[in-house]
Structures are given as structure tokens and as C-alpha cells.
Amino acid sequence: MRETVGFIGLGIMGRGMANNLLRAGFPLRVWNRTASRMDELVQAGATAGSSPADVAAQSSIVVSCVSDTPDVEAVLLGPDGVIEGARPGTLVIDMSTISPQATLTIAEQLAAKEIAMLDAPVSGGSEGATRGTLSIMIGGDAAQVERAMPLFEAMGKTITHVGGAGSGQTVKLVNQILVVGNALAMSEALLFAQAGGVDLQKTVAAVSQGAGGSWMFTNRAPQILARDWRPGFSLDLQQKDVRLVLDAAQQLGVPMLATSLIFNLYRTLQVRGLGGEGNHALIKALEQLAGFEVNGRSPGEAAS
Ligand code: NAP
């Protein structure tokens, strides 16, 4: 069967992912709460929908990529939501990062209307979304995963069916523990390098590919050196994921020492009004404690 695809949520991630579905040849109907964000996709060949329900009525597979758990609940289950337009047999793929527990409840409510659901959160940043190289962690029924594989292949490179409903979200939270831990390690390392008086550009080049390297370090350390705080992933959304980790860890009874420290460091930045900056702005919390900034200037280079 030729699938017709709907896409809800054209933010930093969604617009790249939707573009890659278009490029792969899927007929695409899109919807975004802020309507002007649909223009770019419509110019590229997509059709603008009038609501999530409208998108679902015209699609056999509906992808959502919005911010947080209540937002997914709103676009899937709320008034004018997907559940109001979808026919039995429709597949919903939620690619947002949300609560694993809430995902199970949403999947149950959709199943009552014979609508299937996969949770398929992603990793790889805005760069991965644009290039179609995301890591995709999928929870749900194997037959539906197989059905959706051509879509996943258009959007991602490492595609892993990790288990039943909700398990994609659990594995995504595993990923987020690693992401923020790497962000903290990167911040401390750069402060240490600056205080040690070494050339920061050369330091980044020297260690990026070694045992201490990480996606975070390779992609975000150069941004820090340029004092470029534009978000690939906003600090507010990062903090939302850390909160999801701590909530789930509370339910599981697992101590999360570094992750709860990072939650509080991010909180200090939110209080300072920096929630719209990228998640690498974590370093600003440590800079404040250290009393100096990482500015990327070579030792001896005059401040401009
Ligand atoms: P973003 O740029 O802030 O975009 C959020 C999108 O969600 C926008 O399209 C927004 O619509 C929509 N939205 C939010 N609340 C809504 C609501 N109540 N009803 C309808 N639409 C709503 O965020 P993003 O970076 O694309 O992230 C999207 C999801 O992917 C999040 O769950 C995030 O955690 C996850 N993710 C992000 C990254 C990354 O590097 N950015 C990486 C992996 C996973 P408006 O345009 O109207 O605001």
C-alpha cells in the first residue's frame, strides 16, 4: 500500500525530518500551530493542513514531533486532534521526547479507536534532522515498525526497534543521561583548558577523536569557543528531558547523582532567562562559579 504521510510539528527537528520525507517521495500533509512555519514545506511540495484532525483524515501514517508530553496529548488526543480525524488502521508515530509512562496511556487511547502507535524519539540534533542521519529508538509492534521502515530510513541512519510500547522513550532517556553528562564534562574540560593557558582550538582538535570525545564535544565545543548560543537543542527542552529522566528514575528507584546536579545547574540558567539558548550554554553556569569565561582566545591574544 502506498502510504500517505501527515507531519505535525515543524520546529527545529520537525522541519528537517518532514523535508526528508518529501525528498523520499512521500505525499506529505503538514500542520504546525504557528501557521507561518508551514510555508517552507509548502514551497517544497507539501500540502498545508488545517488541524491535526485534518492531517490525520488525509493520511495513513501521521508523524508528530512537538515539545513535551502535554503537547503530544493535545495534538493527538485533544479537540481537533489526530484521534478525531484518523481512520481505523492509521499509524501514529510520535517522534517527540516525552514520558514513557504517558506514552503507554496515549497508545491505549489510540488503540481503542483501532489506531496503532509507535514511539520513535530521535537523537542527532538539528544537524541529524536536516541530513537524515538521526538515531531513531522505536517502541511498539514489530509489524508496524516494518510498515514504517521506509519513513524511518528517510529520516535516520541508526534505526533500532528496542521493544514494546514506551521503550523507545525509555532508551531516549538513557541517551539524554549521556548527553547532559557529556555536556557537563565538556564544560569542565573547557574551563580547565582555558585556565591552563592552552590554545582552545588546538585542544578541541586534539581530543575530539580520542577516548574523551563525544558528539557533544565535536559539535558544541566549537560553538562555545565562538560564544555562539544559537540552539540546535534549546536549554528549556533539554531541561524538560532531564526532568523526564528524574521523574522516571524516581519511579524506578534509581539514584541519579550527576543528572540531578545538572538539572539544578540548568535551573540557574533558566532563572537568568537563558532558556532559549542552546543546551551547550550549560557552561555559563560553571563559568559563573569559576569567575571567568571560556572565550577561545589563544594565550596572549588581546581581547577585542
Ligand atoms: P522546537 O523547535 O521548539 O519546536 C517545537 C514544535 O512543537 C513546534 O512546531 C511547536 O509549534 C510545536 N508545539 C509545541 N507545543 C505545541 C502544542 N501544545 N500544540 C501544537 N504544537 C506544539 O523543538 P524541537 O527542537 O524541534 O524539538 C521537538 C521534539 O524533538 C522535542 O520533544 C525535543 O525534545 C525532541 N528532540 C529535539 C532535538 C534537538 O536537537 N532539537 C533532538 C532530539 C529530540 P510552534 O511552531 O507553534 O511553536
DSSP letters spanning 68-95: SHHHHHHHHHSTT-HHHHPPTT-EEEE-
pLDDT of res. 2: 82
Please state, in angstroms and rounded to a whole number, the distance separating the CA atoms of residues 114 and 90: 8
- Taking alpha carbons only, the member of 6, 154, 14 closest to residue 92 is 6
Q: Is 233 in the pocket of ligand 1 (CB under 6 A)?
A: yes
- Give mean pLDDT in consecutive 10-residue pieces for the chain, a chain of 304 residues: 92 97 98 98 98 98 98 98 98 98 98 98 94 98 98 98 98 98 98 96 96 96 97 96 97 97 98 98 98 77 50
Write out pLDDT tens, residues 10-52: 999 999 999 999 999 999 999 999 999 999 999 999 999 999 9
Distance of CA 139 to the CA centre of its chain: 16
The domain spans of the chain are: 5-164, 170-290
Q: Is 74 in the pocket of ligand 1 (CB under 6 A)?
A: yes
pLDDT of res. 199: 96
Q: Is 81 in the pocket of ligand 1 (CB under 6 A)?
A: no
Measured from the CA of 126, which atom of ligand 1 is nearest? 40
**Residue nearest (by alpha carbon) to ligand 1 atom 16:** 71
Q: What is the pTM of this model?
A: 0.93
**Residue nearest (by alpha carbon) to ligand 1 atom 7:** 66
Q: Is 125 in the pocket of ligand 1 (CB under 6 A)?
A: yes
> For residue 138, what are the contacts with CB-CB under 8 A and spacing of at least 6?
118, 119, 120, 145, 152, 159, 160, 161, 162, 168
pLDDT of res. 304: 47
Give me ligand 1 centre to Cα 286, in Å.
27
pLDDT of res. 1: 63
Give me ligand 1 centre to Cα 10, in Å.
7
Please state, in angstroms and rounded to a whole number, the distance separating the CA atoms of residues 63 and 31: 10
Give me ligand 1 centre to Cα 134, in Å.
16
**Residue nearest (by alpha carbon) to ligand 1 atom 12:** 66
- Give the active site residue among 113, 157, 172, 284: 172
Query: Which 3 state secondary structure label does DSSP give 56?
Result: helix
Please state, in angstroms and rounded to a whole number, the distance separating the CA atoms of residues 95 and 92: 10
Superfamily of domain 170-290: N-(1-d-carboxylethyl)-l-norvaline Dehydrogenase; domain 2 (1.10.1040.10)
Question: Among this protein's residues, is 172 annotated catalytic?
Answer: yes
For the chain, the C-alpha Rg in angstroms (whole number) is 20
Do domains 5-164 and 170-290 share one topology? The answer is no
Q: What are the cell numbers at 58? A: 488525509
5-164 CATH pick, 1.10.10.200, 3.40.50.10470, 3.20.20.70, 3.40.50.720? 3.40.50.720
Please state, in angstroms and rounded to a whole number, the distance separating the CA atoms of residues 183 and 178: 9
